[in-house]
Amino acid sequence: MKKTSVKNILSKILFLVYFLITLQLIKPNKYKNMGFDNEAKDWDKDIKKVERAKIFAEEIIDFIKPAKNMKALEFGCGTGLLSYELKDSFSSITLVDTSSGMIKVLQEKIKRDGIKNFKPFCSNLLEEELKINNFDVIYTLMTLHHILDLDKILQIFNSKLKTNGLLCIADLVKEDGSFHSESTTFDGHNGFDKEELSAILLNHGFEIQSYKICAESERKIDGKIKKYPLFLMIIKKTS
């Protein structure tokens, strides 16, 4: 075989490898969508999700007592259930989610209800720069346990909050791994231990203000209903 032919073959192989690596690097989500696009149209029909959003919204309002001129960011907004409960408490709310299906449903709701202070974005903050900063409050409901790289997302939250701004995390208390046992694509955390999460937050310039078990989520595991407690942790950016 001629040397030129060998070089051509090697060049094609290298190009193919580069192409495959590039495809991997530009995947839209660093954490898997887990079928949220398909679930979006029926998401709001789950009364328990609606009630859960109301519970956490009441707790957030009760603790923060937000002023009308405050700006908020919801990370992992889904169809906006939590922000809907908070829409009259902030001057503007930026809503971010990686699921285009969820954002589409949210946009339809915003148009239907004539909401003026919502700004929805289909974006992955781990990979894409959202050029909006100086938020007074960032809140997230049942999303953080999907994020494997906690250090990176907490750095992002810190960069987007004002000094003394508040981060509100509503999520699973550490569990045995059964919550997502039926999923073949879940690649995250099995909830959070209070002390472990607090230590990570402290390392990223946050100070714990409040921690409370506010609600619970139910799953049918091996034919039996299992309950999982959900916490709300409120943290202040100090540096």
| Helix H or strand E segment including 112 | helix 100-113
Task: Give the structural domain span for 24.
Answer: 1-29
Same domain, 56 and 111: yes
Cα–Cα distance for residue pair 176/195, rounded to 1 Å: 17
CATH of the domain at 117: 3.40.50.150
Report helix, strand or coil for 229: strand
- Which helix (H) or strand (E) covers residue 234, if one does? strand 224-237
State the pLDDT confidence band at 8, using cuts at 50, 70 and 90. Answer: low
* Residues 167-213: tens digit of each pLDDT: 999 999 999 999 998 888 898 999 999 999 999 999 999 999 999 99
Instruction: Let me know whether 157 and 79 are in one domain.
Output: yes
Closest CA to 69 of 124, 129, 117: 117
* Secondary structure letter of residue 124 according to DSSP: -
Write out pLDDT tens, residues 188-197.
Answer: 999 999 999 9
Tell whether 61 and 129 lie within a shared domain.
yes
> Cβ neighbours of residue 193 under 8 Å, at least 6 residues apart?
173, 174
Q: Are residues 53 and 135 in the same domain?
A: yes
d(Cα 39, Cα 35) in Å, to the nearest integer?
A: 6
Confidence category of residue 25, pLDDT binned at 50, 70, 90: very low
Residues 127-151: pLDDT tens digits? 998 888 999 999 999 999 999 999 9
Residues 13 and 109 in one domain: no
Instruction: Assess whether 23 and 109 both reside in one domain.
Output: no
Q: What angle do CA 229, 231, 236 make, to 5 degrees?
A: 170
What are the residues whose beta carbons fall under 8 Å from the beta carbon of 196, sequence distance 6 or more? 174
Angle at alpha carbon of residue 43, lines to 37 and 44, rounded to 5°: 145
* 197 and 95 belong to one structural domain: yes
Count Cα neighbours of 88 within 13 Å in the Cβ-side half-sphere: 2
Q: 3-class DSSP state for residue 45?
A: helix
| Residue 162: half-sphere exposure toward Cβ, Cα within 13 Å | 10
Share of the chain above pLDDT 90, in %: 75
Q: At what angle do helices 150-160 and 194-202 cross, to 10 degrees?
A: 50
Domain count, the chain: 2
Do 20 and 95 reside in the same domain of the chain?
no
> Would residue 130 be called left, alpha or beta, if left means φ above 0 and alpha means ψ between -120 and 50 degrees?
beta
CA atoms of 183 and 163, how far apart (whole Å): 38
pLDDT score recorded for residue 44: 87
Alpha-carbon distance 135 to 41, whole Å? 29
What whole-number percentage of the chain has pLDDT above 70? 84
Q: What is the pLDDT of residue 17?
A: 46
